[in-house]
Chains A and B, each alone.
Chain A
């Protein structure tokens, strides 16, 4: 099946610094990628939809200037948490849509990145 990777798998940073998370589709081209955030004991919440070559679409309440998304190629999307604060500590998960997939699901999830801001 299709594989999506994320890097890093976990990161600890100081308050005020920026952190970049990468999401890669390893064996397919993803025209659309999604970024989710999950706080402890809560469900996944969509942050933004990233389309290759165009600006990301952010969900209500998600600050686009704080969570910078770049989808420069069909296999890579990045999420940069700028000026991170402790309340940004969360589990960030990306998914990638494979438009060529058939028979199974069209979206494949990465393993997630756990961000801890001190």
Chain B
């Protein structure tokens, strides 16, 4: 059974720091991996989607990498800003599955001015 773990559960950094959020999954047979952002009381906003054949994806100050063989993904945020404060969730789609995303419990990021 696929399980997704995100460590740490919470992270607090000063503004301007570069930071890395971690995601690990137990079964390397995935179709793709998606990173989301969730602001308090809001829905999930898709940040990046990495297909299983890809190593990384970039969008602005965000860079997500995927190492399928080791069951790991990282989300790199450059020059963090207070507006980046949110919960970041990682989700994998198991290979051969047309449906469900398996979610981690998220990392709550706080960027202090």
Question: Are A and B physically bound partners?
Answer: no
